[in-house]
Amino acid sequence: MRLYIATVTALSRAGGVLAMLLLAAAVLVTCQMIFVRYILGGSTVWQTEFVIYAIVAATFIGSPAVLIDRGHVGVDLLPKALGGAGRRWLEVIGAVAGLAFCLLLAWSGFIYFYEALTRGWRTATVWQLPLWIPLFPLPLGIGLLALQYVAEMLKLRDGGTLLAGEATHFEELE
Amino acid sequence: MGPFASGSLLLLGLLVLLATGMPIAFALGLVSIVALILSGGFGVMEIIGETFFGGLASFSLVAIPMFILMGSAVASSPAGRDLYEALDRWLNRVPGGLVLSNIGACSIFSALSGSSPATCAAIGKMGIPAMVERGYPKSIATGSIAAGGTLGILIPPSVTMIVYGISTETSIGRLFLAGVLPGLMLTALFMIWTIISCRLAGYSFEAMAQRFTLREKLQALPRVLPFLSIVVAILFVLYGGVATPSEAAGAGALFCIVLAVVIYRMWRPGPLVEIFRSTLRESVMIMMIIGASELFAFALSSLFITQSIAMWIADLEVNRWVLLLFVNIFLLIAGFFLPPVAVILMTAPILLPIIVQAGFDPYWFAVVLTINMEIGLITPPVGLNLYVINGIAPDIPLQTILKGALPYVLCMMLGIIILCFFPGIATWLPGQMMGAAL
């Protein structure tokens, strides 16, 4: 169990780092695009699509790491007000529902990715990027998110919590 | 099942899931997927991934992480302290100068950072002790910072406005401009109330004033001007449609990071990684809600819920102002519990057609909606700003902060009323700069 949690968490953290790099790349490419378009007066081919897909990929691949940090906000009034067993039950129900969503989305995303891959779909632009490339982060990232959810549920069983603690808000602001 | 029965069931399911404290994005996504499967069978799984992906793959959305990154760079640098000091030095002759410079610093800093809690933390850390030291009542010291921090979602560049623009397909540049004058109006209302309440509390401004030399005043400027000029440049670039909001945001983000590195010497990797980490956290959260709300809107319209509600409201033939009142109350309640972005994404696709049909301007409505969301940030139970202030000024009880913040809630409600009578406050500037709306 401990090995599972450690492995999945390490993968999610790596995803988080990759997502930050994608974000940085998107900023740089946006600026390069502005430079080419407005200062050199040229036209751009791949930049717009690259930036869009980099941000989408960062969202999917970064989302397991954000789950570890409790960055996906929820309305935690009721569980916090209840405390004790009531809070645990709500957390378990919430975790199962969250996991169900991740599995459904990852599965559906995989169908879309697989179709794009096997049928050789390309984006309808000058760049004509094979569509499976930008689609791949969806099943990958959300699949990892589901695995991370299981890890968080195991931690929940060992007395952890899925809710954002009051303290975490302030740590990030310091 | 008719649209109303399925709609009520969907809403009930969503509320139950949200009550567990699970992430909003996942709750919204799950009810939507379940509703779609129940109504259309498992074949719908073929398009769920496509819909979610399609909802995110748009160049307008790129502006969100970029503006968050820009704000994060500003928020993690000591720019807040410098801004505060500069305003304090320049405004010290004015009655209540310190508290005014706090509110002013809040409105500028929150515009730059786009984050209410970050603004409260950055300005409050210097501002609250300084105000308490000079004898201002604690409730006013904390309440004014809590309220001032909310201005960021109204004053451009605002992520909340971008999200509204995307979910209602309205112009983001125009929305930004629509927020400028109402933002300044609220800033002024906050300042006026602060002066009045200080007078009521018997506070003597003259006795407590500090003097600064012109030299000290000028010394405070150079560190603040670059950041201010970035905001002005972004607005300028957006006016004439020179660049898209996403491009302006990308350039703004790069400049703010470079400035933070150059001016504040944040060249060590630690703080830079922290900037990106907090950006990722915030933008992934928002993007996932956006994707899920795409599924939600899809579920609502394939169950004919959106259309039925719009028709039902149209058939009611209520007075448009009564309608607006109910919409406002609804938004206010939603804002008490949910973050602004989630409220906008869940409700805008349903509310906007109703509002437009009743003859209201969508840009004006964006401003009214945003002020409603601001109120939610300083009211319990989830008023984030209150808790942030409680965290940075632990010796001041939450009740005192609440008591101090309440009058500012009334100021915002007054702001909404003024906007109802004079909608031009929101619509005049965009009309001047960009011509009539289409």
Q: What is the pLDDT of residues B123-164, one digit of tens each?
A: 888 888 888 888 888 888 899 999 998 988 898 888 889 899
Cβ-nearest to A55 among B65, B281, B337: B65
Cβ-nearest to B57 among A34, A53, A69: A53
The pLDDT of residue A174 is: 32
The predicted model scores a pTM of 0.87
Mean pLDDT within B75-97 = 77
Residues B20, A91: C-beta atoms closer than 8 Å: yes
Q: Which chain A residues are Cβ-neighbours of B117 within 8 angstroms?
A: 169, 173
Q: Hey, is the C-beta of B24 within 8 angstroms of any chain A C-beta? A: yes
Number of Cβ within 10 Å of residue B369's Cβ equals: 27
Mean pLDDT within B175-184 = 92
CA distance B302 to B298: 6
Number of H helices, E strands in chain B: 22, 0
CA distance A158 to B415: 50
Mean pLDDT within B189-206 = 82
Q: Hey, is the C-beta of B17 within 8 angstroms of any chain A C-beta? A: yes
Q: Which residue has the tokens 């094979």?
A: A130
Residue B68: closest C-alpha in chain A = A23
Mean pLDDT of chain A: 88
Q: Hey, is the C-beta of B46 within 8 angstroms of any chain A C-beta? A: yes
The pLDDT of residue A172 is: 37
User: Nearest CA to CA, how far is A119 from chain B (Å)?
Assistant: 15
Q: Hey, is the C-beta of B201 within 8 angstroms of any chain A C-beta? A: no
What's the Cα-to-Cα distance from B264 to each of B45, B78, B259, rounded to whole Å? 50, 7, 7
Cβ-nearest to A98 among B22, B280, B282: B22
Give B208's pLDDT tier (boundaries 50, 70, 90).
Answer: low
Give yes or no for residue A166 having a pLDDT over 90: no
User: Nearest CA to CA, how far is A35 from chain B (Å)?
Assistant: 10
Residue B23: closest C-alpha in chain A = A74
User: Nearest CA to CA, how far is A2 from chain B (Å)?
Assistant: 24
Q: What is the pLDDT of residues B231-272, one digit of tens each?
A: 777 777 776 566 788 888 898 899 888 888 888 877 788 888
Residues B247, A138: C-beta atoms closer than 8 Å: no
Give B184's pLDDT tier (boundaries 50, 70, 90).
Answer: very high
Q: What is the pLDDT of residues A16-43, one digit of tens each?
A: 999 999 999 999 999 999 888 888 888 8
Q: Which chain A residues are Cβ-neighbours of B298 within 8 angstroms?
A: none
Prior bond of B65 cis (ω within 30°): no
Q: Which chain B residues are Cβ-neighbours of A76 within 8 angstroms?
A: 21
Q: Which two tokens stand for residue B414?
A: 């007054």
Residue B289: closest C-alpha in chain A = A72
Which amino acid is residue B368, in one-letter code? V
**Span between the terminal Cα atoms of chain A, in Å:** 34
Residues A135, B53: C-beta atoms closer than 8 Å: yes
DSSP three-state, residue A122: strand
Out of A54-58, B138-142, B185-189, pick the least confident. Answer: B138-142
Residues A72, B23: C-beta atoms closer than 8 Å: yes
Q: B49-85 burial string, b = 16+ CB within 10 Å, else e?
A: bbbbbebbbebebbbbbbbbbbbbbbbbbebbbbbbb
Mean pLDDT of chain B: 86
Q: Hey, is the C-beta of B291 within 8 angstroms of any chain A C-beta? A: yes
Residues A172, B27: C-beta atoms closer than 8 Å: no
Q: Which chain A residues are Cβ-neighbours of B59 within 8 angstroms?
A: 48, 51-52
User: Nearest CA to CA, how far is A112 from chain B (Å)?
Assistant: 6
CA distance B368 to B11: 24
User: Nearest CA to CA, how far is A158 from chain B (Å)?
Assistant: 19
Residues A104, B48: C-beta atoms closer than 8 Å: yes
The pLDDT of residue B206 is: 61
Residue B244: closest C-alpha in chain A = A34
CA distance B69 to B249: 9
Q: Which two tokens stand for residue A51?
A: 């930036």
Provide, rounded to the nearest whole percent, the portion of chain B with pLDDT above 90.
28
Residues B30, A97: C-beta atoms closer than 8 Å: yes
The pLDDT of residue B207 is: 57
Mean pLDDT within B369-374 = 92
Residues A30, B250: C-beta atoms closer than 8 Å: yes
Residues B285, A73: C-beta atoms closer than 8 Å: yes
